[in-house]
Amino acid sequence: MKCPYCGYHDSKVIDSRDVNDGVRRRRQCLKCSSRFTTYERLQPAALFVVKKDKRREEFSQDKLLTGIRKACEKRPLPTGAIDKLADDIEAKLYHQGKAEIQSAVLGDMVMEGLKSLDYIAYIRFASVYREFTDITALKEEVDTLISAEAKAPQLTSQLPLLPDEEFAGITKNRRRNRN
C-alpha cells in the first residue's frame, strides 16, 4: 500500500479494527509520517458498472483514475490527492457490498469528490459527465459554486474560483449590463 501523500511504499499499522465484514487499518507512512486508512475486505464477485444504455462493464479502478486524472490535469493539487479520491470511491463502492452500481451513481460520487478537491476539475468533469447542452447550463453550475464559496469561504482550502477583484468586477459589469 503506497502512501497517498508521498507515494512511499511502506507504512506501519498504528490501529486495526473490525468493521462490518472487513478490517480497517490506520497506517502511518514510514517516510513522511502522514496517516491514512486502508480497508481490507473479501472482494465480492466482481463489481459491475451499469451504463446508461444498460450495458454492464466490470468496475475498473484504472478507468476511474484515468477519468479523474483527466479532469485534474495541470491543477495544483497536493501529491496523492487524486489517488486518494479514487481509493476512497472504490472503498465506498465495495463497502456497499453490491454486485453492481449505476454509472450515474458512480459519476455523482466522482463529482462530489472533485467538488471538495478542486472546482475547476469538478467543472471539467461535470461538463463531460453531465453533458451540459449549452453554455447557460454550465454557467449556472459555475454561479452555484461561486455563490456557495462567497457564502462559506472558510469551508474550502482551495484557491478562490475567481480572484476577489475580478469577482467584484464581474458583478459590477453584470449590473451595468442590466441597467
d(CA 55, CA 160): 40
Per the DSSP assignment, residues forming a β-bridge with 37 are 26
Region from 3-11, 115-123, 125-133, 160-168 binding Zn ion, contact rule CB under 5 A: 3-11
Residue 35 or residue 75: which is nearer to Zn ion going by CB? 35
In angstroms, what CA-CA distances link 104 with 70, 93, 118, 170?
18, 13, 20, 34
Q: Residue 35 belongs to what H/E stretch? A: strand 35-41
Residue 6 or residue 14: which is nearer to Zn ion going by CB? 6
d(CA 172, CA 1): 51
Residue 28 or residue 156: which is nearer to Zn ion going by CB? 28
Binding mask 8-27 for Zn ion (x = CB under 5 A): x-------------------
Q: Are 64 and 86 in contact (CB under 8 A)?
A: yes
Asked if residue 29 binds Zn ion (CB under 5 A), the reply is: yes
Asked if residue 68 binds Zn ion (CB under 5 A), the reply is: no
Q: How far is the CB of 25 from Zn ion (least distance, A)?
A: 15
Residue 5 or residue 122: which is nearer to Zn ion going by CB? 5
Binding residue for Zn ion, selected from 1, 32, 101, 146, defined by CB under 5 A: 32
d(CA 4, CA 9): 10
Asked if residue 3 binds Zn ion (CB under 5 A), the reply is: yes
In angstroms, what CA-CA distances link 152 with 57, 66, 96, 160?
39, 31, 31, 12
Residue 6 or residue 170: which is nearer to Zn ion going by CB? 6
Query: Which SS3 state, helix, strand or coil, does residue 172 take?
Result: helix
Q: Tell which residue, 114, 176, 178, 103, has the closest CA to residue 145.
A: 114
Region from 29-37, 84-92, 100-108, 127-135 binding Zn ion, contact rule CB under 5 A: 29-37
Asked if residue 6 binds Zn ion (CB under 5 A), the reply is: yes
Number of residues that bind Zn ion (CB under 5 A): 8
Residue 31 or residue 92: which is nearer to Zn ion going by CB? 31
Give residues in contact with Zn ion (CB under 5 A). Answer: 3, 5-6, 8, 29, 31-32, 34
